[in-house]
Amino acid sequence: MSDDTYTPPEVWTWDQPSGGQFASINRPVAGATHDKELPVGDHPFQLYSLATPNGVKVTVMFEELLAAGHDAEYDAWKIDIGEGEQFGSGFVAVNPNSKIPALVDRSGAEPVRVFESGSILIHLAEKFGAFLPASGPARTETLNWLMWQMGSAPYLGGGFGHFYAYAPEKWQYPIDRFAMEAKRQLDVLNRALESRPFIAGEDYSIADMAIWPWYGQLCLGRLYSAATFLDVASYTHVMAWAERIDARKAVQRGRMVNRSFGEPHMQLHERHSAEDFDTKTQDKIGESA
């Protein structure tokens, strides 16, 4: 660590963007930076997202609903957060917090905006009566774990992931602090999954869809290149669960939607029909499309 000690000023001011890979899009105020309307497709559900872990939660949910036979067709539009598209006026109108994913449900008389990934999962689960028990202890347990993910993942992403993978310099104190918390969270999951196939019990649910894109993909080596550093292989029950969910065809499709990085055959920038997986991935239409 540096020998320099930072003394906070009496009043913090934003003199320049904070360092790191995403410095250009970080700012201390909300609201739109420019006028830009959102596109609208032909389907009842309009999703504006990117294939980050939070975005993958919702595309997996849509693909699982479709695989289960529900009429859940959707248009998925890529929001390039690196270019600040989440600060366009249309997006801010759907999500005033300027974070992906954001959904507009146009299936009723009036469009309904839904923001925050957990809220979107609950909204869809209740609308279709799927992946969330209607009542009783099983519903409560599912929501327990969904809320656990919503509260825990910022420590994994904004904490561990930021300082381990994205900060402009490596500082031992924050990496140690958040690595400890990430491992504690993995241990929480490992203990729970020792006695059940899915995180909320015997049935696959929106809790698994919320947790897997973060912790499952971490264990599968897809997040922060940190699997070895965190010794994820030692969490054997989490590893088995992660692999079980990764094998689901709907999960594999959900990972591809709004993806703009990695192997071209895994990138489907926009999704407007099931056929797009066969005809419009980047290996088929080219990087310039």
Domains by residue range for the chain, with CATH: 136-252 (1.20.1050.10)
Give pLDDT tens digits for 132-176.
999 999 999 999 999 999 999 999 999 999 999 999 999 999 999
How many percent of the chain have pLDDT more than 70? 96
Tokens linked to 53: 């872990």
Half-sphere exposure of 229 (CA within 13 A, CB side): 16
Q: Round to whole Å and give the CA distance between 128 and 274.
A: 19
Nearest to 61 by CA among 200, 254, 201: 254
Token pair in block for residue 259? 């993806």
pLDDT(287) > 70? no
For residue 289, name the pLDDT band (cuts at 50, 70, 90).
Answer: very low
Return d(Cα 119, Cα 127) in angstroms, integer.
12
How many residues can be counted in the chain? 289
**102-105 and 45-49 strand pairing:** antiparallel
DSSP symbols for 26-70: --S--S-SB--PPP--SSSEEEEE-SSHHHHHHHHHHHHHHHTT-
Q: What's the predicted TM-score (pTM) here?
A: 0.95
pLDDT greater than 90 at residue 3: no
Are 146 and 206 a contacting pair, CB within 8 Å? yes
d(CA 138, CA 95): 30
Q: How far is CA 40 from CA 117, 235, 256, in A?
A: 20, 43, 20
What's the mean pLDDT in 112-141? Answer: 98
Q: How far is CA 211 from the centre of its chain?
A: 9
Which pLDDT score is estimated for 4? 73
Residues 189 and 199: their CA atoms lie apart, in Å, by 8
User: Residue 21's pLDDT band (boundaries 50, 70, 90)?
Assistant: confident
Average pLDDT over residues 231-259: 98
The CA-based angle 195-240-206, given to 5 degrees, is: 75
74 forms beta bridges with 45
Q: In whole angstroms, what is the distance from residue 146 CA to residue 16 CA?
A: 36
What are the b/e assignments for 59-96, b being 16+ CB within 10 Å? Answer: bbbbbbbbbeeeebbbbbbbbebeebbbbbebbbebbe
Report CA-CA distances (Å) from 235 to 53, 147, 189, 260: 20, 22, 9, 30
Cβ-in-10-Å burial (0-12, 13-18, 19+) of 33 comes to middle
